[in-house]
Amino acid sequence: MNLLTCCYIIASVTFIIGLKMLSEPASARKGNLVAAAGMSVAVLGTIFLYRDDTGQQLGNYGWIFGGICIGGLIGTLAAKRVKMTAMPEMVSMFNGMGGLCAALIAVVEFDHFRRHAIIVTERTIASGMLIPLGWLIIILLGLIIGSVSFSGSMVAWGKLNGKIKDRSFKGQHLLNLLVLLAIVAEFVYLLFCFDPLLMGILFYIILVLALLYGVLFVLPIGGADMPVVISLLNSFTGVAAACGGFLYDNKVMLTGGILVGAAGTLLTVLMCRAMNRSLANVLIGSFAGGNAIAKGGEQEQGAIKEISISDAAVVMGYANRVLIVPGYGLAVAQAQHTCHELERLLEQQGVEVQYAIHPVAGRMPGHMNVLLAEADVPYDKLLEMEQANELFAQTDVVLVLGANDVVNPAAKTDPASPIYGMPVLEVEQSKTVIVNKRSMKPGYAGIDNALFSGPKTSMLFGDAKKVLQDLVTELKNS
Amino acid sequence: MNLFNWITENQQIIYIVILMIFVGIEVIGRVPSVLHTPLMSGANAIHGVVIIGAIIVMGRAEPGNYLALVLGFLAVIVGTLNVVGGFVVTDRMLEMFKRRKPKQ
């Protein structure tokens, strides 16, 4: 047992250090490995050194190793094969698995508890039955939080890969509240219920309601806000894991779980702040009713200018400074390598090229950095929003690649816009703006963008990769 | 006074919870927005410690207890999926953050 305690202490420390390192760009990758190493120590230690209260070793090694092999294999394959653009939904899926794990543990432990309770009730009613009560509370918390996290993550996963559409209806929030109240009421009732059969029924009703609540909770939230939701559910799963730690008096589960619960909550708030919105605003979903308001901006709808590939190539070729604003369109088209090629060609012609990265461009914070880094774009070419906004006034050409909401001037000028107040890239301050989009369809938030009809803006319609390739060919030939 | 007894009995755990909340907040306090997603993913892998609970459930399941055997087995699978998948996907995200040597 002593050696196991050491294993757990080591693991707890690696989690803290790992998380610390993960929050700094230079050490992030190592931090991940540190935490992974600690996790291995804790898992192996548990398998081989764990003794329960009676000094009994664990059994069923075949099952344990079988499960780990299957899970490890699927997990590795899934994580290795997933495309860059699909990583957030992968994270959501893994998070859901963690929640499911916590919920399953609760189900099994409740079963133990119930069998135990049948024998114990008569005696404990007299003695105040305190110990099982605390135990029951923890089991139920683990069950509820784990289930909500599981079903919520699955919906988030479905939304990110487009299988589930945003859906909200009148009274949605009321229904959510009712389900939540029902869960709480049953929770309380269950604590003072001594009939084993009724306890069992109530328990499974809570399970179903918690799963339902997870779905209802995530369903009305806009797809663009999924990273925030996943981060929130991530901290939920952390708390569910900590409940398991409480249950088994297992300090590493407790530290790991609470650590993630706290850090995840803060991270959720930070993500909201990056979009200049409050968490409540994200969760209640102002975007749901936003479409009606957004229509109001139509008076600005002027004529849209198109530009040809060769003209665009000339304009950029003779510029002093070009800033590229990448967005989701670039990620979808997998055009990051072509984009880098264009950047190098322009540099050879003496043009200074940099990238202006909006913190929430794409489908997750940091999406664009990761994408461009994959194409070997040097780190120092990526400007953060504040730096970029200072540079736009001295920029000749801004090339917007499949970004929309993050360059929408309505966020600054139109208080009726659902994205009003969100910091955006002020591309309209530059001399010329070239916008590449597949069509005039509005962006993720579903609102019009006055930038596209602005006097300095020209549109370059087409798939980002195709357009960039044409631009590269054009520049090479000139 | 049951509550007080309970707190006294579990004070160690309560201390851990309180301290860990502060550590968790402190540790990631100054993360740049670029790292939000990898950090979320890394944290996601860390809460995979729940796998330990699954292993304990599985390891303690009596041969005749099919509920514990089946659910425990499932819990071990999904728990491992969370841990392994979480760390691998985080590593893949961060792989792309390495600082490249300046060209020429």
Confidence of residue B103 (pLDDT cuts 50, 70, 90): very low
Confidence of residue A369 (pLDDT cuts 50, 70, 90): confident
Residues in a beta bridge with A432: A397
In this prediction, residues B76-98 reach a mean pLDDT of 90
CA distances from residue A205 to A98, A107, A201 in whole angstroms, order as listed: 21, 12, 6
Q: A476 is written with which tokens?
A: 């090479």
In this prediction, residues A184-189 reach a mean pLDDT of 92
Angle between helices B36-46 and A87-127 (to 10 degrees): 40
Q: Is the pLDDT of residue B102 over 50?
A: no
pLDDT score recorded for residue A123: 46
Catalytic residue among A53, A166, A376, A405: A405
pTM over 0.80: no
pLDDT score recorded for residue A292: 37
Question: Which chain A positions have a beta carbon within 8 Å of B39's beta carbon?
Answer: 19, 22-23, 28, 263, 267
Question: Which chain B positions have a beta carbon within 8 Å of A240's beta carbon?
Answer: 47, 50
Q: Given an 8 Å threshold on Cβ–Cβ distance, is A370 in contact with B102?
A: no
pLDDT score recorded for residue A290: 42
Q: What is the pLDDT of residues A92-109, one digit of tens each?
A: 999 999 999 999 999 999
- Return the CATH number of the domain spanning residue range A297-477: 3.40.50.1220
The amino acid sitting at B75 is A
Question: Which chain A positions have a beta carbon within 8 Å of B52's beta carbon?
Answer: 42-43, 46, 244, 248, 250, 252-253
Residue linked to tokens 């940099």: A354
Q: What is the pLDDT of residues A376-428, one digit of tens each?
A: 888 788 888 888 898 898 898 999 998 888 888 888 888 777 777 788 899 88
Q: What is the pLDDT of residues B43-82, one digit of tens each?
A: 999 999 999 999 999 998 888 889 999 999 999 999 999 9
Indicate if A405 belongs to the active site. yes
ipTM for the assembly: 0.92
Out of B5, B30, B80, closest to residue A23 by CB: B30
Q: Under a CB-based contact definition with an 8 Å cutoff, are residues A380 and A357 in contact? A: no
Please tell me if residue A231 touches chain B, with a CB cutoff of 8 Å. yes
Q: A216 is written with which tokens?
A: 């209802």
CA distances from residue A75 to A235, A279, A323, B56, B83 in whole angstroms, order as listed: 20, 31, 39, 21, 8
Cα–Cα distance between A339 and A317 in angstroms, integer?
A: 15
Question: What is the length of chain A?
Answer: 478
Domain map of chain A by residue range?
86-284, 297-477
Helices (H) and strands (E) in chain A, counts: 18, 6
